[in-house]
């Protein structure tokens, strides 16, 4: 009778306080299921609402590109500074420590290498394996205007259907073919299509003119890719502008792992994304950290 002996007949239901009900803070994600929201909360920081995703999935079509030759040596030390890791299942299983307990966004499309037509992708990961790997989202390339546009959109919608069954968010990645113009008009089109067809959030590129219209017209969060390596100050400026103009974060690869000092660079990117630090100050921070000050 030990269970019953200590029971007190006094309770505090806090009748003077209304039951708290907190809306999920991410744009356009309030109606998602609890599991889906919980996974997104592994990606976006609770305080700032933003994310620094470290993108290291390039090998799925580029092979061992500069900076990713030895990911055990050059990428694993960056993990402590990222909110989220974006990679392939091969690198996740072979190289990333399973003690990493932040969000993983799993590359889930692939097929052609840089030697072929890139838009010719298929789904490359089953939802069951994504669940087995305990990832927080799957990412799929969408080639609006590309040769295999319809198939790439269909890849995304099939992943969205599978993801909705299990509470797995899908990141729609807008990939811009060489023949297309990277401007706000194109980005509005591509990001909106991804969101309309079910992506929980969308990755795009920053454009100098009109990015705020891209962010405004997309009903779910947008993160920007870093793109090709540019000077560190310019990359910090791009991240700053994107955040100020409505992006919810960055999914940055080459501008971090190809930087002269990758750890100071990801730390500086964090200052911009989470604290709104101005580019000049973030660059000073980068140089001081690089010099060991």
Q: Report the residue from 71, 218, 225, 282 that binds ligand R5P according to the rule CB under 6 A.
A: 225
Which three-class secondary structure state does DSSP give residue 226? coil
Q: What is the CA radius of gyration of the chain?
A: 21
8, 102, 116, 203: the catalytic one is: 203
For residue 271, indicate whether it is catalytic: no
227 lies in the binding site for ligand R5P (CB under 6 A): yes
For ligand R5P, what does the binding mask look like between residues 164 and 193, x meaning CB under 6 A? ---------x--------------------
Alpha helices in the chain (DSSP H): 2-5, 34-41, 59-62, 71-74, 89-95, 127-132, 149-166, 184-196, 211-217, 232-244, 254-257, 262-275, 279-290
86 lies in the binding site for ligand R5P (CB under 6 A): yes
Min dist. Cβ of residue 224 to ligand R5P (A) = 8
Q: What tokens were used for 34?
A: 């609890």
Phi/psi at 106 (5° precision): -95, 125
223 lies in the binding site for ligand R5P (CB under 6 A): no
Q: Rounded CA gap, 39 and 233, in Å?
A: 32
Min dist. Cβ of residue 227 to ligand R5P (A) = 5
List the interface residues with ligand R5P, window 249-288 (CB under 6 A).
251-255
For ligand R5P, what does the binding mask look like between residues 31 and 60, x meaning CB under 6 A? ------------------------x-xx--
Q: Rounded CA gap, 134 and 128, in Å?
A: 10
Neighbouring residues of 132: CB distance < 8 A, sequence distance ≥ 6 = none
Min dist. Cβ of residue 230 to ligand R5P (A) = 10
110 lies in the binding site for ligand R5P (CB under 6 A): no
135 lies in the binding site for ligand R5P (CB under 6 A): no
Phi/psi at 179 (5° precision): -80, -5
The residues annotated with a catalytic role in the active site are 203
Residues within the interface to ligand R5P (CB under 6 A): 55, 57-58, 86, 173, 225-227, 251-255
């Amino acid at each position: 009778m030990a269970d019953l002996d200590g029971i007190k007949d006094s309770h505090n239901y806090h009748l003077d306080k209304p039951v708290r009900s907190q809306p999920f803070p991410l744009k356009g994600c309030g109606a998602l299921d609890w599991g889906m929201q919980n996974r997104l909360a592994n990606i976006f920081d609770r305080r700032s609402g933003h994310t620094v995703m470290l993108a290291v999935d390039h090998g799925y079509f580029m092979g061992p590109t500069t900076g990713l030759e030895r990911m055990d040596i050059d990428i694993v030390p960056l993990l402590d500074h990222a909110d989220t890791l974006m990679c392939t299942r091969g690198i996740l299983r072979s190289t990333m420590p399973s003690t990493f307990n932040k969000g993983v966004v799993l590359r889930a499309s692939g097929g052609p290498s840089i030697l072929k037509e890139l838009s010719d992708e298929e789904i490359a990961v089953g939802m069951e394996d994504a669940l087995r790997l305990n990832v927080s989202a799957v990412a799929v390339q969408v080639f609006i205007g590309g040769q295999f546009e319809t198939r790439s959109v269909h890849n995304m919608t099939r992943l969205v259907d599978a993801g909705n069954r299990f509470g797995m968010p899908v990141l729609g990645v807008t990939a811009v073919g060489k023949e297309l113009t990277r401007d706000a008009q194109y980005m509005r089109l591509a990001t909106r299509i991804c969101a309309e067809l079910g992506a929980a959030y969308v990755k795009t590129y920053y454009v100098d003119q009109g990015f705020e219209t891209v962010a405004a017209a997309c009903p779910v969060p947008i993160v920007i890719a870093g793109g090709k390596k540019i000077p560190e100050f310019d990359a910090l400026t791009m991240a700053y502008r994107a955040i100020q103009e409505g992006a919810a974060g960055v999914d940055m690869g080459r501008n971090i792992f190809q930087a002269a000092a990758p750890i100071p660079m990801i730390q500086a990117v964090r200052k911009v994304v989470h604290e709104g630090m101005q580019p000049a100050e973030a660059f000073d921070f980068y140089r001081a950290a690089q010099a060991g000050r």
